[in-house]
Amino acid sequence: MSTKIKFTNTSNSTFFATTRQRVESYLKENTTSKYANKAMWVKTIFYLTGALTLYLLLLSNAFSVWTMLGLALLLGIFCAFIGFNICHDAIHGAFSANQKVNKLFSFVFNLIGASPYIWSISHNVVHHTYTNIPGHDEDIEVAPGLIRISEEEKVNKLHRYQHFYAFGVYSLASLSWVLRKDYIKFFQKKIGEHPTINHPKREYFNLFFYKAIYYFFFIALPLLVLDITWWQFIIGFVGLHLAEGLTLGLVFQLAHVVEGTDFPTPNEEGNMEEAWANHQMRTTANFATDNKMAGFLLGGLNRQIEHHLFPKVCHIHYPAISKIVKQTAHEFNLPYIESPTFWAALKSHYRMLKKFGHTAYHNQLRLVEVTS
């Protein structure tokens, strides 16, 4: 698929205009800034302090190897939470009205091994515009050939078992990110169908320099100061990233690949015959929105509907504006897809994996038998 996509049904955009007006009125009436408030700053301090403390404890050489492994796993999860709660908002420009503050917290993304520049293209631009559109939204292309979550992709024998091995593949997400993904996306000609051939020169330096900084702090320095063998280090390093990767993978998948979400394709002219905001309501899902712990841990990513409609509003405000979004969606007869709990969303995702893999493969076999 190479056609540039356009959302053409602008006459059907009343839903978003109404929702936006109501959200803006709510913020104004409650004299609430759309940026970080005191609670958001508390979260930020908690996650940054927690991750730094875990890192220093690991380097202290004060614990047994088993305790150090536990600390490494916990540090990996904290790195994911930093991405969810701090960097995600900052890269969207939603953390602060001061762009220097957003840039500062975007920089933290480098310290957990990922490029904020590449993420801003692949996520902010491509994913948020072309959500769940096969061939355009690379965020749903977890491992092409291994994981099938679209009718557009050809089904193979391996896909029969993807509902068993997919979660193991998700665990590799962080390792892939720090060792290969950013390099590949930086040097490929386009992300989805968004051209990426004219990077600013400083971004070439930033990519390699900050990756080197990460490798120093998470590979070289631990090997220099820790009283462990090389193979024990590898177990800890891989364990950290498996924990981080599984956390990242599950949260991202539960927001877009659950029952009820669509994977629409454009017509022959490359047009999506629906307004952009309406498209977001059909391709995005919430989960565990009544769980305060999920809200604290996941940085609003369990409220993806609100995030996709208002990516420049800090996630700390999503619980309040979600009531507005849900009510307005019902008024305009649009879906508001949500699972009541994390486990309900996880089961729904599992069934989707089975549908696109095991079920699709056997349906294909039956069709071949009928036509042969």
> How does pLDDT run across 341-356, given as a tens digit for each residue?
999 999 999 999 999 9
Q: Give pLDDT, residue 369.
A: 66
User: Quick one: what percent of the chain has pLDDT higher than 70?
Assistant: 97
pTM of the model: 0.92
- Give the rounded distance of the alpha carbon of 133 from its chain centre: 16
Is the predicted pLDDT of residue 12 greater than 90, yes or no?
Answer: no
Q: How far apart are CA 43 and CA 274, in angstroms?
A: 38
Over residues 97-121, mean pLDDT = 96
338 vs 31, which has greater pLDDT?
338
Q: pLDDT tens digits for 198-256?
A: 899 999 999 999 999 999 999 999 999 999 999 999 999 999 999 999 999 999 999 99
Is the predicted pLDDT of residue 1 greater than 60, yes or no?
Answer: no
Q: How far apart are CA 51 and CA 64, in angstroms?
A: 19
**Helices and strands in the chain: count of H runs, count of E runs:** 19, 6
Average pLDDT score over the chain: 93
233 vs 360, which has greater pLDDT?
233
Q: How far apart are CA 192 and CA 184, in angstroms?
A: 13
User: How is residue 199 written in tokens?
Assistant: 């990077």
Q: pLDDT tens digits for 318-344?
A: 999 999 999 999 999 999 999 999 999
Q: Give pLDDT, residue 143.
A: 82
Over residues 62-72, mean pLDDT = 96
Is the predicted pLDDT of residue 2 greater than 80, yes or no?
Answer: no
How many residues are present in the chain?
372
